[in-house]
Amino acid sequence: MKIKNIPFSPPDITEAEKKLVMEVLDSGWITTGPKTIEFEDKIAKYCDANNAVALSSATAGLELILKVYNISEGDEVITTPYTYTATASVIVHRGIKPTFVDVKKDSFLIDEQKIAMAITPKTKAIITVDFAGVPVDYDAIKAVLKQKNREDIIFISDSAHSFGATYKGNKVGTQADFHVYSFHAVKNLITAEGGAITFNDNNYKGKEDLKKELKINSLHGQSKDALSKMKAGAWKYDIITDGFKCNMTDINAAIGLAQLARYEGMLTKRRAIFDIYTTALRTKPWAIIPFTKDENSETSYHLYALRLKGFTEMQRDELIQKVAELGIATNVHFTPLPMFTLYKNLGYSIEDYPNAYNQYANEITLPVYSTLKLEDAEYVINEVIRCADEIKAK
């Protein structure tokens, strides 16, 4: 049998991206400028949001929101342990120990009812996670806040995975108070590194101009961006706050604009790969097939998070190794945060989050990307099934 080389998630770069990047390089303006503004406008339009702020990462977006609303030591922020560290690290940066709420049983998504139990008078924000591109039940979260008479709590959706997903007939991007996206190199839509915040209310919680404040905070708290300062005679500026340095550049935005122009087609390709995997796995009693769509929502087809019923963590790891020897790169999403040294040292124990551990222990993420040939997707799933059957039969 000929062994193929199937990477996990290479970027989908075409001549369109190269052309736009070269235009920026030739323009003489490569940092935050007209292309970033255009990208923000098109992101907002795509998500049906009133506002978008493009940044250097989703991580920066999450932390900017916490900073702008002065959420810091003494406050509490609720989130899930089933996520990448970025979701929780930004809380730690603000001097806060995250309040972790376990996922629902047999789900990768945070348990809304346990959120209700975790809310205290000190709770200032909740950060949910659209794992693998599957939207959380935003309305259920908002119902919990209403029931608890705590609609003052800021509802932030870590939507790093869910750009292009839908919820109740609408694109993800306005259901929470804020949605934060990642355009990192392994995401559906990429800018090499990058992210964005989308939101509707530019006066949320009394802000005079929230979009402007976020952008100032992304550029050292400086009252003028570089494009404004470079105009003849306009060199004077003020430092208004202790901001970060996390603005997006026009080079990154150019890649994003080219990606956005063909994004629906990229989603169609990802959906086709999901269909190949799911069709092949339907007859396998050990396969717990990931969510794709129902009457309320549809994933962005970011990660094919397959769970292996009856497999131990060791057997899952054996499967990863066996398919790696066949040239197939897979992954695990995610190791729950309480299993890492940083979080152990903060006092967390995975034993307190049994649902999160059970999701992790038998999860394997299969390669999905818009340049993956369908015949290669067939190769992937056939070999995964063959190897899993062998392990199961031992």
CB contact at 8 A, 280 and 250: no
Q: Which helix (H) or strand (E) holds 23?
A: helix 15-27
Q: What whole-number distance in Å separates Cα of residue 335 and Cα of residue 206?
A: 39
Q: Which helix (H) or strand (E) holds 259?
A: helix 250-261
Q: Which helix (H) or strand (E) holds 284?
A: none
Question: Which residue matches tokens 């549809």?
Answer: 298
Nearest to 253 by CA among 60, 33, 58, 44: 33
CB contact at 8 A, 221 and 239: yes
45: amino acid identity, one letter: K
What are the start-end ranges of the H helices in 165-246?
210-217, 226-229
Catalytic residue among 187, 293, 309, 322: 187
Q: Which helix (H) or strand (E) holds 156?
A: strand 154-158
CB contact at 8 A, 367 and 112: no
- Edge-first strand order for the sheet with 297-298 is 170-171, 166-167, 297-298
CB contact at 8 A, 75 and 96: yes
Query: DSSP 3-state assignment of 142?
Result: helix
Task: Kindly write down the DSSP assignment for every residue of 75-127, as one continuous string.
Answer: -EEEE-SSS-HHHHHHHHHTT---EE-PBPTT-SSB-HHHHHHH--TTEEEEE
The token pair that represents 245 in the structure block: 């340095």
- Edge-first strand order for the sheet with 304-308 is 287-288, 304-308, 363-366
Active site residue 187: yes
Q: Among all residues, which ones are annotated catalytic?
A: 187
